[in-house]
Amino acid sequence: MKHRVPSLLLATACALLPLPALADLALATAKNCMACHNIDKKVVGPAYKDVAAKYRGDKAAPARLAAKVMEGGGGVWGVVKMPSNPQVSESEAKKLVAWVLSQ
Ligand code: HEC
């Protein structure tokens, strides 16, 4: 019994962890997004929570933002532009934007 308790706790902890969200944070980190963005504070680019709040309910936002992630652009959050991110494929851009918008 002594041995079973930790593994039971571990299994419970694993069940509670939002694994897809972690996977997308890993993707965002691997694709260098986190060099300029943070989830809840502005760095070079806006906080992802602020991006999510701004576009909540905007059905056109996911496609528009995925294109912007790939091509770069500015004029929405301040004077600094986001450079293009050619290391990101279209499907990765969509996945990343869906994750950003869920923050
Ligand atoms: C070199 C810094 C930099 C990197 C790297 C970067 N961004 Fe940005 N990002 C910015 C800046 C600056 C803005 C604000 C642009 C503006 O005001 O329109 C921005 C804006 C955004 C927005 C909101 C766009 C809008 O129109 O509201 C999203 C979504 C976003 N970034 C996602 C990403 C993702 C995903 C990645 C990784 C593939 C990434 N960014 C990499 C600097 C960066």
Q: Is residue 34 part of a domain?
A: yes
Domain extent for 72: 18-101
Q: Is residue 3 part of a domain?
A: no
Residue 86 near ligand 1, beta carbon < 6 Å:
no
Q: Is residue 75 part of a domain?
A: yes
Rounded to whole angstroms, what are the CA distances from 13 to 9, 16, 19, 103? 6, 5, 11, 21
Q: Is residue 40 part of a domain?
A: yes
C-beta separation of 101 from 59 below 8 A = no
Q: What is the pLDDT of residue 55?
A: 98
pLDDT truncated to tens, each residue of the chain (103 aa)?
555 666 666 566 555 555 677 789 999 999 999 999 999 999 999 999 999 999 999 999 999 999 999 999 999 999 999 999 999 999 999 999 999 999 9
C-beta separation of 35 from 100 below 8 A = no
Cβ neighbours of residue 100 closer than 8 Å, sequence gap 6 or more: 28, 48, 51, 52, 65
Smallest CA-to-CA distance from 67 within 49, 45, 79, 85 is with 85
Q: Whose CA is nearest to atom 2 of ligand 1?
A: 36
Q: Is residue 32 part of a domain?
A: yes
C-beta separation of 39 from 45 below 8 A = no
Counted domains in the chain: 1
CATH number of domain containing 38: 1.10.760.10
Q: What is the pLDDT of residue 92?
A: 95
